A = this chain, B = another copy of it.
Amino acid sequence: MTTPDPDPQPAPRGTSRRGLLGLGAAGLVGLAGGAVLGRATAAQAGPLAVGSSAVGPSASEAHAFYGAHQAGIATPVQDHLHFAAYDLSPRATREDLVALLQEWSYAAARLTQGLDVSATGAVGGNPAAPPDDTGEALGLPPAHLTITIGLGSSLFSTGDSADSDRFGLAAQRPAGLAPLPPFLGDALQAEWSHGDLCIQACADDPQVAVHAVRNLSRTAFGRASVRWSQMGFGRTSRTSAAQATPRNLFGFKDGTRNVLGTEEDRLAEHVWVGEGDEPAWLRGGSYLAVRKIEMQLEPWDRTSLAEQERVLGRDKAEGAPLSGGTEFTEPDFAAGAIDVASHVALAHPDHNGGATLLRRGYNFVDGTNALGRLDAGLFFLAYVRDLEQVITVQRALATDLMNEYVRHIGSATFAIPPGVAPGGWVGETLLA
């Protein structure tokens, strides 16, 4: 998954990239019809001209955009996140949605290779027009940027009336795609929840991730707007055996038992929607559950080491289960050293019918609240084959000792379409 793609999707022939950037979207849709566009491009050959941006020295720092699965799930977790949830405009049509997903795919194929959002870039276009690319990533390497596109349940219908199925997608809605049910202790806020679409941009340079979300938001102009967004840092999990297990803001290692991108069997069992699963259009894709979790750091920091370790069920220094061994030793729940209400006990697959999540969360610090405390926590991202896996684990955590120190303030779920071949676009299996 780390091979650079030398040939991003070509721009549609005879269509200025300007028209694709939302600044002239109405004209574009009128010109060719969105759905035709993506398929037409698949038949084209020829590499896309490189924009004004010097591609860094680092093709090795680029993840392929094209593939069986979208990048940003099983690929190694990067250091920084910019996540954005979008709502479609009340006036947006199915054609607008198709065109947007095509243009996002085109842009993502370029951005992930360290290119400008379009061939005319930040400075190569008409001086009398706004630049296609906002420019702040000019000269920066790809920084392992991945762009992962998701579809929210509200896209499929917003109610029971015929009017609510404005994109004609109700019949194709995955049976399990819905907002997560209420959990004990939820303190959800609408401003951190839901969305018709999402973009997860991860990179080893936050400026690269911010640049991606900013330019994709520009692309969406007039058709979709950002509902909420989140910056994250210091990944709280690992998806590669080469990555050390990072620590969350409670100071504990997080993600020790995570599904790794090399574990094909576990990915097939727990993460990818499989060949026998429904709906067919989502096969090779996944589901994403998002939770914005405030961590009450000051009370936590005043808790004794022994109590912190009891809450987690692991020791703080090494991350080993309190039943003994090293970080990667399986916990021995029968030995009695691990509290039954500890986080490790309640979240363990053995206690949840095998439910396993691919976690890809990030720490966040949004500043300081009115009490002078860090407004900080965990932006939890989990990829699963079925959202029921998340619901099972989250229900089990109802009695988690950790609940005294965390508060869930945001929640969202998305269907993550499969990856696409060069020339394709994310969502084509649903919308083409």
> Which residues of chain A have a CB within 8 Å of any CB of chain B?
23, 52, 79-80, 82, 84, 122-123, 125-131, 133-139, 205-207, 210, 214, 217-218, 225-231, 233-234, 244, 247-252, 297, 301-306, 308-309, 315-317, 363, 365-368, 371-374, 376
Q: Do A305 and B226 touch (CB < 8 A)? A: no
Within the complex, the shortest CB–CB distance from A75 to chain B, in Å, comes to: 21
Q: Do A373 and B317 touch (CB < 8 A)? A: no
Q: Do A207 and B234 touch (CB < 8 A)? A: yes
Residues in B whose Cβ lies below 8 Å from that of A317: 52, 122-123, 138
* Cβ contact of A305, chosen from B131, B137, B302, B366, cutoff 8 A: B131
Name the CB-closest residue of B to A315.
B123
Name the CB-closest residue of B to A229.
B368
Count this chain's copies in the assembly.
2
User: Do A248 and B367 contact each other (CB < 8 Å), given the known contacts A297-B214, A301-B130?
Assistant: no
List 11 other contacts, CB 8 Å, given A122-B251, A129-B305, A131-B305: A127-B305, A128-B305, A130-B301, A130-B302, A131-B251, A131-B308, A133-B251, A134-B297, A226-B372, A226-B374, A231-B367
User: Do A247 and B138 contact each other (CB < 8 Å), given the known contacts A84-B368, A206-B233, A368-B84?
Assistant: yes
Q: Do B368 and A367 touch (CB < 8 A)? A: no
* Cβ contact of A227, chosen from B207, B227, B372, cutoff 8 A: B372
* Cβ contact of A304, chosen from B130, B244, B250, cutoff 8 A: B130
Give Cα A371 to B138, complex, Å.
Answer: 27
Residues in B whose Cβ lies below 8 Å from that of A52: 317
Q: Do A247 and B139 touch (CB < 8 A)? A: yes
Give Cα A246 to B190, complex, Å.
Answer: 36
Can you name 11 A-B residue pairings with CB atoms under 8 Å? A123-B317, A128-B305, A135-B316, A136-B247, A136-B249, A214-B374, A217-B374, A225-B372, A226-B372, A229-B367, A229-B368
Q: Do A247 and B135 touch (CB < 8 A)? A: yes
Within the complex, the shortest CB–CB distance from A373 to chain B, in Å, comes to: 7
Residues in B whose Cβ lies below 8 Å from that of A303: 130
Give Cα A247 to B316, complex, Å.
Answer: 40
Q: Do A226 and B122 touch (CB < 8 A)? A: no
Q: Do B206 and A305 touch (CB < 8 A)? A: no
Give Cα A230 to B84, complex, Å.
Answer: 21
Residues in B whose Cβ lies below 8 Å from that of A248: 136
Q: Do A233 and B207 touch (CB < 8 A)? A: yes
* Cβ contact of A139, chosen from B133, B206, B230, B244, cutoff 8 A: B244
Give Cα A304 to B122, complex, Å.
Answer: 11
Within the complex, the shortest CB–CB distance from A298 to chain B, in Å, comes to: 8
Give Cα A244 to B56, complex, Å.
Answer: 13
Q: Do A365 and B82 touch (CB < 8 A)? A: yes
Give Cα A82 to B365, complex, Å.
Answer: 10
User: Do A305 and B367 contact each other (CB < 8 Å), given the known contacts A122-B251, A234-B205?
Assistant: no
Q: Do A218 and B301 touch (CB < 8 A)? A: yes
User: Do A305 and B207 contact each other (CB < 8 Å), given the known contacts A82-B365, A226-B373, A244-B139?
Assistant: no
Within the complex, the shortest CB–CB distance from A295 to chain B, in Å, comes to: 11
* Cβ contact of A251, chosen from B138, B315, B363, cutoff 8 A: B138
Residues in B whose Cβ lies below 8 Å from that of A131: 251, 305, 308, 316
Residues in B whose Cβ lies below 8 Å from that of A226: 368, 372-374
